[in-house]
Structures are given as C-alpha cells and as structure tokens.
Amino acid sequence: MTQNSHYTKHHPKWHRVRIPIFWWVHKWVHLKFILRELTSVAVAFYAVVLLFQVRALAQGPEAYANFLAWLKMPVAVFVHAIAFLFVIFHSVTWFNLSPKALVVRIGKRRIPDAVIAASNYVAWVIFSAAMAWIILN
Amino acid sequence: MPTNITLEIFRYRPEDELEPVFQSYEVPFRKDWVILDALNYIKDNLDGSLSYRWSCRMGVCGSCGMMVNGTPVLTCATFLEKYLPGPIRVEPLKNFPVVRDLVIEMSDFMHKLKRVKPWIIREEEKPLSEGEYLQTPTALADYKQYSMCINCMLCYAACPIYGLEPTFTGPAAIALAQRYNFDNRDQGKKQRMEALSQDGGIWECTLVGECSVVCPKDVDPAGAIQRYKVASTTEWWKSLLMPWGSSEERRA
C-alpha cells in the first residue's frame, strides 16, 4: 500500500456492494459516457488509416492507387461511415464540454460558456473548409 | 391526491443477518412533505429501529444524502410528490460501506479531504498590525462557487470512478482544493499539487459529469477538476520549458 492511497479498512460487519462489470448499461447517461470514451477507438482508426495513406504516398503512384482502391471497397466504406459517426460524436461532446475546462475572465466579466463552445465549432468549420480547399484544389 | 404512499427502505441489521433486506412502510402523503419527513414519521410512529442521518432539514448541512429511486439526493430537499404514485425506494448513499440501515461510513472521504489541505496556506502570516486581507467582489467570485460545497457526498455516490477505483480523491475534495487554489489569499498551490496530480488525483477523473448534475449546491466539481487538469498540464509544461521558475512562484 503506497503512502498516497488510503483504502477504507476492512470491517466484517460493513456492507459493501461490488460494482458489476456492466455497471454502465443500466442508465442512459452512463451508456452515453462509455460510447463517448469508445470514440477514441474511431479516432485511433482514423490516425492509422492516415499513416497508411502517407506510407502509400511515399511508395509511389501504384501503391497509392492500391490504397485508394482499398478505401473504395464496400467494407472499408462501411467501417469508415461508422467511424465517422463516432468521430462526430467525439467532437461534439468534446466541444460542448470545453467550457468546463476553460474559464476565462476578462476584467470583471466571465466569457459565457456558449461563447467558448461556439468558438470551438467556428474553428472547426474554418479548418475543415481550409482542408477541403487544399485537398480539392 | 392519494392519502398514503409506500416507501421501500433498505434495512441492514448486521447483528441479525449479514444480508440487507427491503422493508415497506406506508406513510401519509402530504403535498409539503419531503422524504425526510416520511423517514421521521416512520421512526416516530412505525419503526423506531430505522437508522439514518439528518440535521438541519433545510439543505445546508449535508447530512441526509441517500439514494432515492437510484439517484443520490438530499432527502430534506426532495418532495414525496415527485415520486407519486410510488413506491419510493430509499437506499443508503452508493459507493460507501453501509454501517446500518441508511447510515454509511465516510472516513474515506474525511481522509481524502484532509489530504488536499482545505485551508488558507500562507508562506508568511500577515502580522495583525497590517489588518485584514482585502478582497474585491471579483476576486471572491473566482472561488465562491466552490466554497458552497456542503460535503454531502452526493457527488461521490454519483461518480462511477469513485465506485470502481478506491484511491480516487473524488469530486468534492478536489472542488474544495480548487476553492483554496483560486482564493487570492492562499499561497498553497504547490502543497496541494501532489495530492491532486498524482495517484488517485484528478487524472482518475474521466469527466462522466454526473457529480455536477447531482450537486444540490451547483458547485460544479466536474468543472473544478477539468480546470485543474488544464492548470496542472500548463504547470508541467512550464516546469519543462522554464525550469528556472515561473513568475507565479515569485509572487509574494
């Protein structure tokens, strides 16, 4: 037992309930939380696909054409669609929670929560538009 | 309007049996009665053996927290009418060991609260001759929300991480640490840092957010924790990139 942790000492007569492994299925709020945490898998998936894309790009036009053909396969499209939905959920929940972490006071007044969240969305739109312009042009 | 309402109450009498049971009681329904009124009625008229904590009966002491239909609430602030037609299930606060009936053991919270040093820490005490600390309303507003905590521990009952991970310091203790970190009379940020940013501290929190939802005083412990995550990370980067010390440390 490290110095930092303090476990409530065992007492034979105290009643303790063990949390079941599927504690999160009983309430909608908890289910949403677990789904939100699982979106990290979709984000990791996107990152891995990007790495493969860069590698294909480095290997030359034939390798890149093979990569694009893989992306067009129905299975790949389906998996990407699911991942996309998860990533949207990831971004929306993250932006909506950002005012909790960023409390900024200017002089006497505090920047309202809605402004903090909205500025995340605005930045998202601007960056997406810029990326779309770069990729499509 | 019904005349009666049924309460199903968690009974745990370790001297009789080690398994808890639910016992049903029928109490009069009054529009202005809260759960605590029903419990007091049961204790006065139906079953004097029922054990539970309560004190101020007006939502400021934090003693009467219990699970009502699966949600942690202050029983002095929750009306029977909300749960019509019933029955209402009353259980002890979740994530704490139960001593008896609706009474939980909370020494774990008390230890964790002490570890975050919830008092004004000064490098040097201001001499009495210099008078009192002056604080503007704006400076007060910086920490006032976190000072409203009544230690009712509803947030601990709502936090799945506290239930799963015994070392987690927990929402209220961290919010109270922040109450002092944001107080401009305090100089103890560094002393709280170990308890907050190491084992069992803020990084156990995964922002489920239920703590802030159930808080009866709108303390927003989830917000307090996330703000400390940002502050702690910034401090770490500062210590890495500017190891000679930040301007904040030099401030008297």
Distance CA A38, CA B243 (A): 37
The CATH number that applies at residue B34 is 3.10.20.30
Domain with CATH 1.20.1300.10 in chain A: 16-90
Residues B123 and B237 in one domain: yes
What CATH number has the domain bearing residue B190?
Answer: 1.10.1060.10
Indicate the pairing of strand B88-91 with strand B4-11: parallel
Q: In whole angstroms, give the CA distance from residue B126 to residue B30.
A: 55
Cβ within 8 Å, pair B107-A4:
no
| Same domain, residue pair B185 and B209 | yes
The CA-atom distances, in angstroms, between A34 and each of A82, B16, B155 are 16, 40, 19
Chain B residues with CB-CB distance to A23 below 8 A: 160, 163-164
Interface contact B18-A15, CB threshold 8 A = yes
Domain of B64, in residue numbers: 4-104
Q: Please, what's the largest Cα pairwise distance for chain A? A: 72
For residue A69 the two structure tokens come to 């053909």
B117 with B212, same domain?
Answer: yes
Same domain, B80 and B163: no
Domain C-terminal end among B104, B137, B163:
B104
Q: Is B201 helix (H, G, I), strand (E, B) or coil?
A: coil
Domain boundary among B78, B104, B130: B104
- Beta bridge partners, B219, equal none
**Mean pLDDT, range A108-114, rounded to an integer:** 88
How remote is the C-alpha of B221 from its chain's centroid? 9
Which residues are CB-contacts of B4 (< 8 A; sequence separation ≥ 6)?
A: B26, B27, B28, B29
Q: B111 at the A interface (CB within 8 A)?
A: yes
B166–A contact, CB cutoff 8 A: yes
Is B192 found in the same domain as B178?
yes
Helix (H) or strand (E) holding B182: none
Question: pTM of the prediction?
Answer: 0.90
Ramachandran region, residue B74 (left: φ > 0; alpha: ψ -120 to 50; beta: rest):
beta
The Cα of B199 is separated from the nearest Cα of chain A by a number of Å equal to 7
Q: B200 to chain A: which residues are within 8 Å by CB?
A: 4-5
* ipTM of this complex prediction, to 2 decimal places: 0.88
Distance CA B140, CA B94 (A): 33
- Amino acid A3: pLDDT: 45
Whether residue B238 is found in the same domain as residue B143: yes
Number of compact structural domains in chain B: 2
Q: Are residues B134 and B216 in the same domain?
A: yes
Phi, psi angle pair for A109, to nearest 5°? -105, 150
And the tokens for B173? 């203790």
> DSSP assignment of A50-94, as one string?
HHHHHHHHHH-HHHHHHHHHHHHSHHHHHHHHHHHHHHHHHHHHH
State residue A1's pLDDT score.
42
Per-residue pLDDT of chain B (252 residues; tens, 9 = 90+): 789 999 999 999 998 888 999 999 999 999 999 999 999 999 999 999 999 999 999 999 999 999 999 999 999 999 999 999 989 999 999 999 999 999 999 999 999 999 999 999 999 998 999 999 999 999 999 999 999 999 999 999 999 999 999 899 999 999 999 999 999 999 999 999 988 998 889 999 999 999 999 999 999 999 999 999 999 999 999 999 988 865 555 443
**For A16-90, CATH number?**
1.20.1300.10
**In the listed set B87, B104, B121, which residue is the last one of a domain according to the structure?**
B104
Interchain contact B184–A (C-beta under 8 A): no
Q: Residues B169, B222: one domain? A: yes
Chain A's closest residue to B228, CA to CA, is A101
Closest partner CB to B230 (pick from A2, A29, A102): A102
Distance (Å, rounded) from C-alpha B80 to C-alpha B59?
A: 16
Q: Are residues B80 and B149 in the same domain?
A: no
